[in-house]
Structure 1
Amino acid sequence: MEESDEKRMTLSFYNYAHIESPEIVRDQLYAEWTKFGILGRVYLAKEGINAQINVPKENFEAFKAHLNTISFLNGVRLNVAVEEEKKSFFKLKIKVRNKIVADGLEDDSFDVTNKGKHLGAEEFNRLTDDPNTIVVDMRNHYESEVGHFENAILPDVDTFRDALSIVKETLQPYKDRNIIMYCTGGIRCEKASAYYKHLGFSNVHQLEGGIIKYARDVQDKGLPNKFKGKNFVFDERLGERISEEVISYCHQCGSKCDTHTNCKNEACHLLFIQCEECAKKYDGCCSSECKTFVQLPEDEQRDLRKKFQQKRNVFKKGRVDHLKDHWLKKANIIQR
C-alpha cells in the first residue's frame, strides 16, 4: 500500500443514532466495505458511528451510494480531507465501543439531541468578528499546538473528557456570551454543545463540519481564512496544512516547526514535534536514550520492550520552558 500509485481519498463522517446491535452492524460493514477497498478506523456504539477512512477514488461514488442504503447513514455529511490524496490508513479496523467518543458524560442526564446552532464558514467568520463572542478549541493540546483559530481559548488538556470540565469552569462567568466551539470534524462539539446548553449556557454554537469543512469552504468561496497553521489528524499523515503559518516549535531545539512524529523507539512511541535537523541528529527519536535503544540489535530491543508497558504518550507543551510565555498569553485571551 505504501508503494501503490492508486489514488485514494481520505474522509471522515459521524452520526449519533440508535444502533441496537453494533456487533452485528460491525460485521456487516466490514464485509461490505472490504469490497470497496476501504481502509481506516471506525468506532461503533449503541449511540452511533465515528469513522475516519480512505477509499479508492474510482469507488468513491459507489461508496456514497452504498452509505445511502443504510438507514442511519443516509445523507450523512462526508468531510473530505484537505490533503485528501496523501496516504492515511493501511488497514481497516472497525471496533465496538461503549461510546464513539470518550467523554465521561452521563448521557441519560441531558438531551444529546438539543445541540448548539451549526455555523457555516461565512457565519463563523461574521460571528467571530463580534467582540461578544468567545471561541473555544475543544481538541487536545497537541492538536491546537500546531494550528488553531485566531483568538481561540486553547485548553491544555490530554483528552476530550478533560476539556469538557475545564471549559465549563473557564466559561462560567461568560454564560450569556456567544460561545463558538470547534474541533476537527465536528463530532466532539455535537456532544459538548448539548452538554453546555444543559448547563445553562444560552448562546451555544458549533462550527459545522469542523476545521476540515471550514478549510474547504473558505477555499471554495474565497473567504478569509481565520485558521492558522496545521490541522492535526489521527492517521498516518498526523496533519494537513490549512495555512502557511508555522505557529509551533520543535520540542528538541525550539526552532519553528509543526511536524508531528512518533518516537522511532517502539518502547517509547512518544508523539512530539521534530524538525528535520533534529530528526537526523536523533535518528527520529525523542532523546539520546531512545536513539541508543534503536541502535541495539532487533532481538535485544524486542526483549527489552517486554519489560515496558506500552502506553499512549504525548509531549506536554505546558512543560516546555521556552513556550511558557507564548501559551500564557493564549490562556489570557478570555480577558480581552
Structure 2
Amino acid sequence: MKSRSDQALELSDEILQNIELSEVPLQTAIQKTLRLARLINDMEAVEWVREELKGFSKDANGFLTSTAWEACKRSNRTFYDEDSDGEKANTQSVSVLEQSIEALKERMKVAYDVNVSVSSASQFNPPLPPGNARERQAIASQIANLTEKIEKVRSSFYDYIFNVNFELKFSDITEDIFSRKRLFVDKKLTEISPDAVRKFVSVHENLRSENNEDWANAVHSCRRILKDVADVLYPPKAEPVLVNNKSIKVGEDQVINRLIQYVDSKSESKRFEELVGSHLKYLGERLDSVYGAANKGSHAEVSHEEAERYIIFTYLLIGDLLAL
C-alpha cells in the first residue's frame, strides 16, 4: 500500500492539474483538498476547508464565528465595505457562485436582438423595437462580479495545494537521499562494529522518552559510538603522532584526534579533511561537555531537538568516515 505521504503527493498533483486545466468545478477541487489536508494531518486546513464546504458558521446573533471569519480571510473572501466603514466577507458557497454563473450564461444566450425587417412603403421609417443591449450588459457585469469572487477563492486554494505539493516533493527528495545514506551506513557499521549498531538502537529508545535525562544519555551514547568506530578505524596508540611538527596524542581517550588522523591518512582531498575535521572537533567538544557534566554529577541541559541534531550529525559523520 502507498504511504500517506505518497497518497498526498499524488492527490496534490491531481488537484493542481484539475485547477490549472479547469477539469472539474472548483467545488470538486475543494472537496479533494479536504482529503489532502487530512492525509498530511493539517488540522487548521481541515477546519478551513470544512467551513467552505458546509457553509460558514454563525453564532446566536447571526455573526460569523471566529473560525468562519478566519476561513473567509484565508479564502480571500473579505473586503472593505465603504457604506459600513468596515470589513465584510462574501459567504456564498463556491457551488452557488458556480451555478449562478452558469444560469447567467444561459440567460445571455437568449438575450440577443432578433432580426427585424424595417422595409415600408411609407416615406417614414417605423421606430425600431428596443434591443437587449442593456440586459446583456447587466448580465455580463454580474458574471464578471461572481467570477472575480470565485477566482479569489480559487487562488487561495491553488496556493495552498501548490505549497503542499512542493513541501511533499522536497521531503521526498531529502528522505530518498537520507535513506540511501542510511542503508550504506547501517551495512558498513554492522560489518565493523555491531556494538555501535546496538548503541544506536538504544539512542532511539532514549529519544522516544519524555525525560530530558534520557536525551542527555542519548548524547552520551553518541560519544561511545564514536569511540567504538575509532577503535576499529584507528586503534589507540601509546605514543603521540607528529603532525606539522606538533605532537598529537592518539591514546584511548583521544577519540576525535584518532578519527581526524584516520581521515588524514585516507582522504585525498584536503578540503574534505578540513571539513570533516572541523565537524569532528565541534561535535567532540559538545559531546565531551555533556559527558563531563555527567561525570561531575551535574545535569547538562540538552533539549530534545538538540539531542536529535547531535545524533543525526554523529550518524552522518560516521557515514563520511566509512566512505573513505
TM-score by length of 2: 0.21
Greater Rg by CA? 2
Question: Is the helix fraction higher in 1 or 2?
Answer: 2
TM-score by length of 1: 0.21
Question: Is the strand fraction higher in 1 or 2?
Answer: 1
